[in-house]
Amino acid sequence: MRDSGFRDGAKAALPIVLGYLPVGMAFGILAQKAGLTPFEAGSMSLLVYAGASQFIAVEMISKGIIWFPIVLTTFFINLRHLLMSSTLSLFFNRNSLRALGLLSAQLTDESFAVAMSDSSKISNRPRYLLGLQMTSHLAWISGSVGGAFFGSLIDPKGYGLPFALPALFICLLVIQIKSPNHFGMMVIAGVSSLFFKWAFPGNWYILLAALLASGIGIIIKPKAQSSKLKKSFPSPSMGKDKWEG
């Protein structure tokens, strides 16, 4: 059944595709306005594949900023991938660097969250994650190229599309609430993220809120019963949450 892993992953990506197509198009439109060709917009979506930094990059381009400050900004915006990659590392201890390279290059908030919603599906099964990520990536690239080509012909703000990704994130968030501790963590991270976003520019708030939460997680966990540790991830038997994607 190893072959079906890729297909399962691709199927699981469909909600992400629904979100990435319009947002990708929005990026394509802005990229074209900033003077990029569809090929350049598509290349950025292919090689960088990080929405927030891509949007900020084209904004900086339209302001006439040269490449080096943009690359530096991109680095800081995308630092949060450190945390997601660290979390994923728990599930891949028998894979080649080449496989890990391919997987990590396509790591995004959305595919990470979908992968984590049922971690039993990814444990040392790179094909599932690959199917998930490549399908999502393709949608992102297609949206970008389409947006750059067709400009303002289609309205990515209609049909409730602006809420597609937020709705996906909300569902993924709910799936992660596996205990009262997780609920409390949601409140702590959520409320603190509001403060951090208000206080700091850019996307620092995500990284800061996540670090705060994991810091608290390290402190409070030792007080929990030791039997809970046996149930903590990762293990292939986890992911008993019932969900259909």
Partner 1 sequence: MNKETLALIFGMAIVTFIPRFIPIAFLSRWNIPEKIKMGLEYIPVAILSAIVFPILFFDGEGAFGIQPQFLLSAIPVFAFAWKIKSLWGSVILGMLVYWGLGYIL
Of 2-10, 100-108, 131-139, 146-154: span binding partner 1 (CB under 8 A): 100-108
Core vs surface per residue 140-162: b (16+ CB within 10 A) or e: bbbbbbbbbbeeeeeebeeeebe
What CA–CA distance (Å, rounded) separates 236 from 163?
33
What CA–CA distance (Å, rounded) separates 99 from 96?
5
Dihedral sign for Cα atoms in the order 226, 232, 236, 242 = positive
75 binds partner 1 (CB under 8 A): yes
Interface residue with partner 1 among 15, 28, 131, 143 (CB under 8 A) is: 15
DSSP conformation class of 243: -
Instruction: Select 3 or 238, whichever has its Cβ closest to partner 1.
Output: 238
Q: Measured from the CB of residue 146, what is the shortest distance to partner 1 in angstroms?
A: 19
Pick out residues in 32-71 that bind partner 1 (CB under 8 A).
36-37, 39-40, 43-44, 47-50, 53-54, 57, 61, 66-68, 70-71
154 binds partner 1 (CB under 8 A): no
172 binds partner 1 (CB under 8 A): yes
Query: Two tokens at 51?
Result: 């929405």
Applying CB under 8 A, the site for partner 1 has a residue count of 111
Interface residue with partner 1 among 20, 92, 128, 140 (CB under 8 A) is: 92
DSSP conformation class of 245: -
Nearest to 6 by CA among 110, 94, 112, 132: 132
168 binds partner 1 (CB under 8 A): yes
Instruction: Select 3 or 97, whichever has its Cβ closest to partner 1.
Output: 97
